[in-house]
Structure 1
Amino acid sequence: MPSPNRPFWPRGVPADVRVPQVPLTHYLQTAAERWPDKPAIVFAGSTLDYAGLWQRSCALAGHLAQRLGVRPGDRVLLVAQNCPQFVVATFGIQRAGAAVVPVNPMSTAPELAHYAHDSGARVAICAQELLGPVQQAVADGLLDAVLVLAYADALTADGVSTQTEAVQGVPALAEARRPLPDGPYHGFEAAIAEGLAPPPSHADVHALAALPYTSGTTGAPKGCRHSHATLLASNLASQVWRGLHSESVFLCVAPLFHMLGMQNGMNLPITLGATVVMMPRWNAAQAVALVARHRVSVWAAPPAMVMDFFAQPEAATADLSSLSMLSGGGAAMPEAVAAMLQARFGLAYNEAYGLTETAAFLHANPVDRGKRQCLGLPTQGVHSLVVDPESLAPLPPGEVGELVTRGPQLMLGYWRQPEADAQAFVTIDGQRYLRTGDLAQVDEEGYFFMRDRLKRMINASGFKVWPAEVEAMLYEHEAVLEACVVGVPDPRRGETVRALVVARPGRPLTEAGLLDWCRTRMSAYKVPRSVRFLSALPRSATGKVAWRALQEAEARAALIPTQEAA
């Protein structure tokens, strides 16, 4: 509640969040008991109600436990685009007492192999068109069993024609179930059809529920250990902060493997017993039609997606009056777009801030008193400080320092990475804080603003790209002598990836050729959008590549029109 210390705290919002001592699966079961025939997921015109979602999740849990030997505490890979089966798989894995390892569908075979090896997962659930990297992991002895799903199995006869709503831009949605490959592959629908009973009890609220991977400044991606309790803390705080309820209708577009989508498009609405209108892939015109048709009221999306949505001609004429909560983060919403949303649609974009390590929701602007291009206030139970990066001494309002934070939604730690934990967590006044690596300042009213990054990281439409990881892969190319990866401003994505490369003498190398090579070795969002060849990379007195100077120079150049363009 508002107080002299926090005069702009939202009225009616408690200072702390009390996390119930039940797991996520309890909420799905409760919703199925309360509203068995209520639409849980609307997908390509087809509907899966809460009773069906719970029944399918339990049956999958039974198959995982009784047929594939999945035990409490195990990890299971999940590789798919947004679809109802993704939700069934997530809750089925968790009902079996295991943790879901969400994998970017764009992952290459080496990337997926890392997730399988590092997490120790021996079972995977995968969409049939994404099987290639998974099959390689099976051949390499990393996986023992794979459940294979087809999106078309989620389409019911009473749904809208797949040609008009399902297949547009996503041919895999209409593709019939393929024959299973030889080997340890099992049909997803056949597994559910067995109707095997799940384990007798739910997982403990403090058990591992999800292991999403995030990259770091060096080395391979690290798993963030999230329990049911940490995921719930984020969800429940967001519900109260934003006034969400069981009759809310959510548009789920952000990828479910990503924390923004997983939390806002799946876990949060299901803990409420709300309805999710799900898109497998972004299509702005289709999104406008879905909001109008299904009376969507809540949508979490990065600014680039919001700008694309409202730039559609259909947005000017469609009935979008149901849309009342538009939120997101990952990049600042441009002032001109925010003003347009308010003037034309009466919508305020509720900017927020969170990390994979914090299960998304951490800071947010008060709904009725937001500031633009602002991280907002620390939400319920969250304590954030701006500190000197070297001494860790708290800094006064107005000074720029590293943002450190603590709260009930913080991950338990990195998966089997004690060295990374030692670097990520610090103790201040006897309390354990997470170092975000983001440079921020807090104003006199307690609002936080992003100012820079302490760590090298590129934020492209909410996807984190760590330059050191991309550089390491570029050095595998036989014609690359030196490489430095930087972020440059992009009007739609916030930032985009550029590679500055020094070619080996006598080795021909072109931008197109190098980009084609990159696409075969790294996820699409990590692939540089452009390459600039240099004769040498500048270095500091200690011999390190002067990446910050290069990045600043590239950023300035991106903002200055060329003579030809002028």
Structure 2
Amino acid sequence: AYILYTSGSTGRPKGVLQNHRYVLNLCRNYTNSGKISFSDRFSLLYSAAFGGAVRDIYCALLNGAALFPLDVKQIGLHQLGRWLRDHEITVMFAVATLFRHFVSTLDGLGNFPKLRLIQIGSETVYRQDAELFQENFSDQCTLMVNLGGTEISPVRQFPITKETVLTGATVPAGYGVEGTDVFLWDESGQEVPPGEVGEIVVRSRQVALGYWQQPSRTEQVFITDGEHRYFKTGDLGRLLPDGCLLHLGRKDFQVKIRGYRVETTEVEASLLNLDAVKEAVVVAQTEAGGAVGDQQLVAYLTPVNSQNRLTAKELKAALGDKLPSYMVPAGFIWLESLPLTVTGKIDRRALPKPESILSTSELELNVIAPRTATEETLVKIWSEVLKIEPIGIENNFFELGGHSLHASQVVARISNRLGIEVPLKQIFETPTISLLSNYLESVNTSSNCSTGNYPLVPTARATEADIPLSLTQQGL
């Protein structure tokens, strides 16, 4: 039937081969779930080269409905509301980012008496998106969240009305659609136990034929067992007891920070809960000059009010009350707007690199120069470890993005350069250069330090009741 290229928002675009049977199945599923009829009036907000346009065009025409194309870039999102009303649009499709931007222009003044169905997807949909829908659209309107892609769509659907109550940070991917089965596989291709996280794998006769002129990639993600065809989506999910699928983001977005597995969508959701933050994208970046795998989280933000941008210190304090320390980004970059692909998705590849942005000027720190030789040495050590300069003697190590692994590097370099053995906990107890310098100078003159004899301090034995539960244990 056609070749359409994926958006390429997270990697190299791929040409997806589809046939007529897929288009008919797609239209049937969207028609049935959306109760599409000849009386509907569809918006078409995308180029025909986007997978969503196939759905819009054929769902409208094969049902005898009207189709209204619009170049949003020409009129601007602030005019989209008026256009929807003037053309009495009943069914609107949008990627999540475009919907979020559109609703932000309404200021609670949405009035769309004819609009009965809004279909969104293609990206993570947050609880805040659902709340925006409930605040701005009529009781007769439904928000349908779709999980799908260019290779197969829809995979799951989750309807939201005014009465829907969501408790999680993200909207579930939802429940099954006709002709499509979903499995969760581990790295070896086996189904994970109930309640466990696995890669979302779709089984359907309508799965794409493959990628144009990419046989190796096609073989990796399109699998057949002789009877069925499967597509490995690259997305992570977990099934609830009632069969509802939770979409946990791309495998690419699940990263390890200091040995902890982190879902960047969880961090993004926490940032979006802050009143000053309009949009948030969190990515893992290898620290400049750091070893492979030595990653830190960097948050890219857009403000609700350009005159009210929280400082990195304020953002870390706000997140510190909600997230464990390893999930708090090391750096925050405010942008006027997030870069988008031609289809309106967030273009993660176009985000500015943090190496040239993260600095003490961005952190808005008061830099006080070192006064002694010890302080000068410590400033050099901190700059080398944290990859930030200049650093002042009153700046807090952890507010600069330091963590326990950084502290271990500092302790090792102090030993090599100053010949003083410092316990790791001392970095936590004296987190500024001035305090740490005072400590080093005091122990350097003591007999224990000069002779190399260090007193052994007995540690009280902890009972089982005294040992705190880990985050994983708390969730069991």
Query: Which structure 1 segments of 5+ residues have no match?
Result: 1-207, 459-485, 504-514, 539-552, 555-566
Where structure 2 has 5 or more consecutive residues not aligned to the other structure, the ranges are 256-263, 273-277, 290-334, 357-382, 387-400, 403-476
Contact 1:235 1:361 in 2 (8 A): no
2:350 aligns to what?
Answer: 528
Q: Once superposed, what is the RMSD of the aligned Cα atoms?
A: 3.9
Task: Name 1:434's counterpart in structure 2.
Answer: 231
Distance 1:349 1:537, change over 3 A: farther
Q: Deviations over 1:111-168 (max 9, x none)?
A: xxxxxxxxxxxxxxxxxxxxxxxxxxxxxxxxxxxxxxxxxxxxxxxxxxxxxxxxxx
What is the CA deviation profile of residues 251-307 of structure 1, one whole-angstrom value per residue up to 9, with x for unaligned ones?
Answer: 2224432212x1343232122221122221242221100111111111111233223
CA distance in 2, matches of 1:238, 1:228: 16
CA distance in 1, matches of 2:88, 2:351: 37
> Which residue is equivalent to 1:101?
none
CA gap 1:340/1:454 in 2 versus in 1, 3 angstroms:
closer
The question of whether the paired residues in 1 share the 8 Å contact of 2:99 and 2:120 is answered with no
SS in 2 for 1:530: coil
Partner of 1:349: 143
CA distance in 1 between partners of 2:70 and 2:84 (Å): 11
Greater Cα radius of gyration, structure 1 or 2:
2
Deviations 1:77-105, CA, capped at 9 Å, x for gaps: xxxxxxxxxxxxxxxxxxxxxxxxxxxxx
Q: In structure 1, what is the equivalent of residue 247 of structure 2?
A: 450
Q: Tell whether 2:150 aligns with 1:377.
A: no
1:359-378 matches, cutoff 5 A: 360-366=153-159, 372=166, 373-378=171-176
Q: How many residues align?
A: 286
1:429/1:453 CA distance change after superposition, 3 Å: farther
Q: TM-score, normalised by structure 2?
A: 0.52
Other structure's SS at 1:257 match: coil
Retained in 2: the 8 A contact 1:501–1:531?
A: no
Q: Which residue of 2 aligns with 1:327?
A: 119
Does 2:9 align with 1:211? no
Of residues 95, 115, 118 in structure 2, which corresponds to 1:302? 95
Cα gap change, 1:246 to 1:494, in 2 (>3 Å): farther
Q: CA contact under 8 A between 1:297 and 1:322: conserved in structure 2?
A: yes
Give the conservation status (yes or no) of the 8 Å contact 1:253–1:278. Answer: yes
The aligned residue for residue 217 of structure 2 is 420
Q: Distance in 1 between matches of 2:25 and 2:350?
A: 36
Is the CA contact (8 Å cut-off) linking 2:10 and 2:347 kept in structure 1?
no
- Distance in 1, matches of 2:64 and 2:99, equals 25
Matches within 5 A, 1:152-551: 208-213=1-6, 215=8, 220-260=12-52, 262-282=53-73, 283-313=76-106, 316=109, 319-345=111-137, 346=139, 347-358=141-152, 360-366=153-159, 372=166, 373-390=171-188, 392-427=189-224, 430-455=227-252, 489=268, 491=272, 495=281, 502=288, 525=347, 528-533=350-355
Equivalent-residue separation in structure 1 for 2:28 and 2:41 (angstroms):
17
Counterpart AA for 1:495: V
How far off its partner does 1:375 sit? 0.7
Q: Which has the higher contact order (CA 8 A, sep 6+)?
A: 1
Q: Which residue of 2 aligns with 1:51?
A: none
Q: What's the offset of the Cα at 1:246?
A: 1.4
Mark the CA change 1:301 to 1:419 in structure 2 (over 3 Å): closer, same or farther. Answer: same
Q: Output the CA distance in 2 between the equivalents of 1:273 and 1:370.
A: 31
- Partner AA of 1:357 in structure 2: E
Cα drift, residue 366 of structure 1: 4.8
Q: Match for residue 549 of structure 1?
A: none
Q: Distance in 1 between matches of 2:234 and 2:214?
A: 18
Q: Does the 8 A contact of 1:331 with 1:494 survive in 2?
A: no
CA 1:499 to 1:528, structure 2 compared with 1: closer, same or farther past 3 Å? Answer: farther
C-alpha distance 215-293 of structure 1, shift in aligned 2 (>3 A): closer
Q: Which 10-residue stretch deviates more, 487-496 or 420-429?
A: 487-496
What does the per-residue CA deviation read over 1:225-268, in whole Å, with 9 as the maximum and x for residues that have no partner? 011221221122111111111111112224432212x1343232
Would the alpha carbon gap of residues 313 and 230 (structure 1) be closer, same or farther in structure 2, given more than 3 Å must change?
Answer: closer
- The letter of the residue matching 2:33 is W
Do the aligned residues in 1 keep the contact of 2:200 with 2:234 (CA within 8 Å)?
yes
CA pair 537-363 structure 1, distance change in 2 beyond 3 A: farther
Counterpart contact for 1:250–1:269, Cα < 8 Å: yes
Give me the TM-score of the superposition, normalised by structure 1: 0.44
Distance apart, 1:216 and its partner CA: 9.9
Q: Are residues 286 and 315 of structure 1, via their aligned partners in 2, closer, same or farther at CA, if it must alter by over 3 Å?
A: farther
Query: What is the Cα deviation at residue 450 of structure 1?
Result: 1.3
1:214 Cα deviation after fit: 5.5
Which residue type is aligned with residue 410 of structure 1?
Answer: V
Are the equivalent residues in 2 in contact too, given 1:498–1:530 (CA < 8 A)?
Answer: no
Q: Relative to 1, partners in 2 of residues 1:381 and 1:259: Cα closer, same or farther, differing over 3 Å?
A: same
Q: Pick closer, same or farther for the CA change 1:401–1:426 going to 2, 3 Å.
A: same
One-letter amino acid matched to 2:16? C
Percent identical among aligned pairs is 20
Counterpart contact for 1:252–1:278, Cα < 8 Å: yes
Query: Quick check: 1:217–1:457 contact (8 Å CA) kept in 2?
Result: no
Q: Secondary structure at the match of 1:296?
A: coil
- Corresponding residue number in structure 2 for 1:14: none
For 1:292 and 1:526, the matched residues in 2 are separated by 33
Q: Measured at CA, do residues 496 and 454 of structure 1 come closer, stay the same or move farther in structure 2, by a change above 3 Å?
A: closer
Q: Assess if the C-alpha contact under 8 Å between 1:234 and 1:362 holds in 2.
A: no
SS of structure 2 residue aligned to 1:451? strand
Offset at 1:340? 4.3
Query: 2:9 touches 2:348 (CA, 8 Å); kept in 1?
Result: no
